[in-house]
Every structure is written in C-alpha cells, then in structure tokens.
Amino acid sequence: VTADYTPIRHFLTFNGLLSATDAAARVPKLVRQSPPAVVGAFLRGLFEAAGSLAPRGYPQFSVTAERLAREAATLLIGLGCPVAVNE
C-alpha cells in the first residue's frame, strides 16, 4: 500500500514544522502565538524528544539549533519557568 504524504508535507511546510536541516529548526510562529496550553504541549513534545534529567534532577534538553533553544527558553520563561541556556 502506497500512501500519499503530500497533504501532510504541505501542512508541515505551511505551519513551519518542516525544516531543511536540524540546525534550521525553530519554534513555529503559530506555537509562539498560541495559548499557554498549546505552548506547554509543544514544549512537552520537545522535552520528550530531546530531553533528560540533569544530575541535580532538573529537566534539560539538547538540540543542535541555537535558535530553537533560545525560542524554547523564551516560551518557558513566558510560562513562569526558570531557564538557563548553555552553549
């Protein structure tokens, strides 16, 4: 069975969820403009995909895209979470 993924690809591209490289990854504009529940769901997915617990038990995530890290930090601050960005 062959599936046509064209509608999915169009959806991802339209919403800024499809990037050419990992280094170009960023938080989609629609997520940045969304209510806190949507922002929280996006961040949960990000931590699920790239997160772990730091030695002192704090959640952390590691990504290669500096822009994604900084935008995620901004979202976390907006939700009232303390943040540290290590380069």
| Residue 37 CB burial class (10 angstroms; 0-12, 13-18, ≥19) | exposed
Q: Are 53 and 59 in contact (CB under 8 A)?
A: yes
Please tell me the predicted confidence (pLDDT) of residue 62: 86
| Residue 11 CB burial class (10 angstroms; 0-12, 13-18, ≥19) | exposed
Alpha-carbon span 33 to 36, nearest angstrom:
9
pTM: 0.76
Q: How far is CA 42 from the centre of its chain?
A: 6
Q: What is the pLDDT along the chain (87 residues), one digit of tens a residue?
A: 455 677 877 777 777 666 666 777 888 888 999 999 999 999 999 899 888 988 888 889 888 888 889 999 999 999 999 998 887
- What are 57-66's pLDDT values in tens digits? 888 988 888 8
Please tell me the predicted confidence (pLDDT) of residue 44: 92
Please tell me the predicted confidence (pLDDT) of residue 1: 44
